[in-house]
Amino acid sequence: MGIYLGVFSITPVVWYKDIQKLWRVYRQEMLIALLGLTLLIVGGLGAELFKGGFQLFVGLLFHHDFILFFAEKVRVAIEEFSELLGETLILYAAFLFLKKRYRRRQLFDSYLSQT
């Protein structure tokens, strides 16, 4: 887990100017990608961090093995859903970026062919 935190903390520092330019030109796509990244991290890491506390809390409320089993399955389902939703949003933002970039390229090529 330490390597992931290192990569996520160093990436903006190394590519600050590139990220700043992307933010200016492709703000909507960057916001969607950041939302997806947040869901991915919070959903995956957050659900794992709260696993012990969640089991303890549900164990204090209910004493049936089936309810404990079902609650754990619901927690895992929520974790996996948020990870997949985050990945889907990142992929959607990437396709929006490519679509906008392709349209700009077509406009530039049509402008050059007219002159």
- 27-52 confidence digits (pLDDT tens): 999 999 999 999 988 888 777 777 77
Q: What is the pLDDT of residues 88-101, one digit of tens each?
A: 999 999 999 999 98
Average per-residue pLDDT for the chain: 84
The arithmetic mean of pLDDT across residues 5-29, rounded, is 85
- Structure-block tokens of residue 46: 């957050």
Answer yes or no: pTM beyond 0.75.
no
